[in-house]
Structure 1
Amino acid sequence: MSAATEFDRHIDVSPLGDGRFAVELDAGWAVGAGLNGGYQLSVVGNAIRAAFPQQPDPIVVSAYYLGPAQAGPATVEVTPRRAGRTVTVGADLRQGEDVRLTVLATYGDLAAQPDAVATTAEPLVLPPREECRPNSEAPAAIRTLAPLIDRFEMLFHPDQAGWFGGEPTGRGEISAWFRLKDGRQPDPIALLTVLDALPPVTFELGRPGWAPTIELTAHVRALPAPGWLRVRHVTRNIAGDMFEEDCEVWDSADRLVAQSRQLARLPR
């Protein structure tokens, strides 16, 4: 399968037959002891799209992370569960005998739906991009922990970037302008990565480090317009060694195009 951009090359899948796809997971998406969960979700999402090209778009995806995926060869196994106006499938990302990620997803054709998003949610307002803090200024320790930060252009709200200088605000919120660094425009498969792309919101709680996802549920609500996205992560509760993280993604047309909630472990 031809892949023109860096992102498309890194999520590219090759059919093996019987709903199985081969993939080469790229080391550039590393964070902590594994690969970014959103990147993994886009790989699996791309395999589902390849298996059902007439229903190419994720609508809802529920993902359980069973172990850290590593760079290198992997397979995705897609199993149909229900077919109709939408298709519901199960999918597993495997490395050797180990399942790293298991997914239950509903796919459809967002282009066939009415091109309208009506919401009572207020659009995410960020300062002008030139007033925000670029991810290129992130501390060296963070860049070492999460090389995937170089896959994006992220411009952080200056009032939510205290973690840059070791002075977190103590508020559980991080928001930023966002786009893929290779110029690829957003689509529903890319949104699965975007929903897990910003640093964990715990950075602004003074708890930096790798925060492995246990479960993530994503809703893709509409085809995103081209251009910069605006992304916000928020947490309201830490219990035991886990926290929830809610994400919303707004496109350049001021539409809420994707949402997610995940449960993750606190950084050690």
Structure 2
Amino acid sequence: MSSTPFRDLNVLTAAGDGAYQASIDPIWTIGPKVHGGSMMSLCAAAARRRLLDETGDADLSRVQPLAVGANYLSAPDPGEVTLSTTVRKQGKQVSFVDVELKQGDRVAVHASVTLGVPDVGKPQYSGDHALSQLPAEPPTDAVVLTADHPMGQIVHVSQGCDMRVDGTSAHFLTGNQGEPEVRMWVRPRAGDEDDPDTAALFAIMTGDISAPVTMNRGMFGWAPTVQLTTYLRRQPAPGWLRVMASSTVLGGAWFEEDHTVLDSTGAIVVQSRQLAMIPR
């Protein structure tokens, strides 16, 4: 396997008129379908690439996707996709680019991407978060997701990065039920972590990395994401990312799932919320 599988995912080839071609490897799937967070990172990468191609301005090198709001219209298979981009505004501090990810003639994702320079330095205020109580690195009893693990056989994304689950939160792994909250550790491969742009896109992807929290309530099966909004708050520091996915309301048809992602320094680097459907 490549030493930079996530950077490989986000390789874009210009196809003219603001469009780009990409190829999604089967490891970036959940079951047979492409992982939603991986498609979000591709949309973010295409928006940033279009902005750089549009201007050729080296001063934009610090610009990253700050917010990505995506509507999921269909679930594509791994393979070739096209990303069409439209610049809505190019500003001094904030720019906006729309992206459509298609497979063949079918639109899979429509995304609106906000680009700017992420926060740096010490925040003016930062409240306590329950996730900060999770160790910065996974302990020895964390569940390691490998290709042979029952969960890893479905979450193929674990083959492209290191994923470890806090077993005390993932009650479904032991056939039990608990609160709709799952905690875990995720880290890109070393080659991906060393590239700041890839590390930022990887952090965006982790805003949709957890198995559906409905599984902790005994509700298994596909929980399709309908809408997902992810914020990149700052450039992640090297090391493990701590992730907590949770929900406050599991309805009859719909539920929300929030992700909070901390880097190795304890800084919040990603926040996300998605609207998804309860598994049938």
On whether the aligned pair clears a TM of 0.5, the verdict is yes
How far 1:224 sits from its partner (Å)? 0.9
| Equivalent residue runs for 1:129-168 within 5 Å | 129-136=139-146, 140=150, 142-168=151-177
2 CA distance for matches of 1:12 and 1:201?
31
Please give the secondary structure, in 1, of the residue aligned with 2:238: coil
Per mean C-alpha deviation after superposition, the further-off stretch among 142-151 and 219-228 is 142-151
**For each residue in 1:47-74, what CA deviation from the matched residue of structure 2 results, as whole angstroms up to 9, or x when unmatched?**
1121123263111111000000111111
Aligned to 2:55: none
Contact 1:11 1:43 in 2 (8 A): yes
* 1:48 matches 2:47: yes
| Equivalent residue runs for 1:110-121 within 5 Å | 110=118, 113-117=119-123, 118-121=125-128
1 CA distance for matches of 2:25 and 2:204?
17
1 CA distance for matches of 2:218 and 2:237?
35
Contact 1:66 1:100 in 2 (8 A): yes
| Equivalent residue runs for 1:226-245 within 5 Å | 226-245=238-257
2 CA distance for matches of 1:257 and 1:199?
20
2 CA distance for matches of 1:119 and 1:267?
35
Q: Which residue of the other structure, out of 60, 71, 89, is the alignment partner of 1:82?
A: 89
AA at the equivalent of 1:12: V
* 1:92 matches 2:90: no
How far 1:148 sits from its partner (Å)? 2.1
AA at the equivalent of 2:165: F
Aligned to 2:273: 261
AA at the equivalent of 2:111: V
2 CA distance for matches of 1:23 and 1:82?
24
Please give the secondary structure, in 1, of the residue aligned with 2:126: coil
How far 1:138 sits from its partner (Å)? 7.9
Q: Which residue of the other structure, out of 164, 171, 174, is the alignment partner of 2:179?
A: 171
AA at the equivalent of 1:49: R
**For each residue in 1:3-30, what CA deviation from the matched residue of structure 2 results, as whole angstroms up to 9, or x when unmatched?**
9711111221111122100011221112
2 CA distance for matches of 1:183 and 1:265?
35
* 1:205 matches 2:214: no
AA at the equivalent of 2:199: D
Structure 1, unmatched stretches of 5+, are none
AA at the equivalent of 2:153: T
* 1:246 matches 2:265: no
Under a length normalisation based on structure 2, what TM-score does the superposition of the two structures give?
0.87
Per mean C-alpha deviation after superposition, the further-off stretch among 203-212 and 65-74 is 203-212
Aligned to 2:21: 22
**For each residue in 1:77-102, what CA deviation from the matched residue of structure 2 results, as whole angstroms up to 9, or x when unmatched?**
11011121211111100111111000
Per mean C-alpha deviation after superposition, the further-off stretch among 148-157 and 58-67 is 148-157
Q: Which residue of the other structure, out of 112, 117, 120, is the alignment partner of 1:109?
A: 117
1 CA distance for matches of 2:201 and 2:152?
25
Per mean C-alpha deviation after superposition, the further-off stretch among 159-168 and 183-192 is 183-192
Contact 2:51 2:87 in 1 (8 A): no
Distance of aligned partners of 1:263 and 1:100 in 2 relative to their CA distance in 1, 3 Å threshold: same
Contact 1:177 1:230 in 2 (8 A): yes
Under a length normalisation based on structure 1, what TM-score does the superposition of the two structures give?
0.90
Contact 2:147 2:156 in 1 (8 A): no
Give the superposed CA RMSD.
2.1
**For each residue in 1:78-132, what CA deviation from the matched residue of structure 2 results, as whole angstroms up to 9, or x when unmatched?**
101112121111110011111100001100122xx54233311325222552232
Distance of aligned partners of 1:162 and 1:138 in 2 relative to their CA distance in 1, 3 Å threshold: farther
Structure 2, unmatched stretches of 5+, are 53-59
Please give the secondary structure, in 2, of the residue aligned with 1:52: helix
How far 1:242 sits from its partner (Å)? 1.5
2 CA distance for matches of 1:147 and 1:11?
17
2 CA distance for matches of 1:87 and 1:94?
23
How far 1:159 sits from its partner (Å)? 1.3
